[in-house]
Structure 1
Amino acid sequence: MDKILRPIEEPLLDSVSRIVFCACVDTNGWLPTHNRKFPSYTARTRSGTLRIANFDDRAGAKTRRNARPLLPQANRRDMGGSEFVMMKYLAVRNTLRALHWGGWRLAYRF
């Protein structure tokens, strides 16, 4: 999925400095590839396979279930180290062969 999704996601990240991440998740919340600017998330397991993250937060759940063409969201995101940032999200449904596969999630700072 790195070869398929990263050429789509990475140019979006480079286009606007306020964009924090761009992710494609399936209906279960599984994220098959990570953005390059988050190297800790692309770590390999002991077996040599890449980890697949789960976007199981409230905004992530709405993203993967979204059936509308566009779903704007906002929430306070815990960035770790007692740092909280207000974030906005744009979620777009993702279909594969006319079936709802999940959604694209674009996060940016106010």
Structure 2
Amino acid sequence: MKLLKNKIMGVIMLIFVLAFGVWYSLCVFMNSGLLAAFVNPDSIFQPNFLGIPLLNSYWTIALPIYLLVLIVLFIAAWLGIATIIAKPPKVSEEEINRIMTLEKELRKKKEKDNSE
């Protein structure tokens, strides 16, 4: 059951990351007028509607931030995919708890023997 929850969480995380990445990319590229440059390549060096060329200070600020956001989104997508394809652990939680209690008892026994 826990593994199914993790898979669902991984799928939701992946959908969220991809949706945010598309939305952020559209915001960056629509703001810059770069999409219009694909239609008319000469427009890259022409001023846009604000009278500012596309290769300007907007890109000196927006591009590094955009690349950092893409790196974070890539890592998040990677973790989402890893969560989806994760295999169940070979040791159950009950066994881990039993081992931990045995270790605590062993420590107490050693401390008791050392104190005598």
TM-score, normalised by the number of residues in structure 2: 0.19
| Structure of greater Rg | 2
Higher relative contact order (CA 8 A, sep 6+): 2
Q: Which has the higher helix share?
A: 2
Q: Which has the higher strand share?
A: 1
TM-score, normalised by the number of residues in structure 1: 0.19
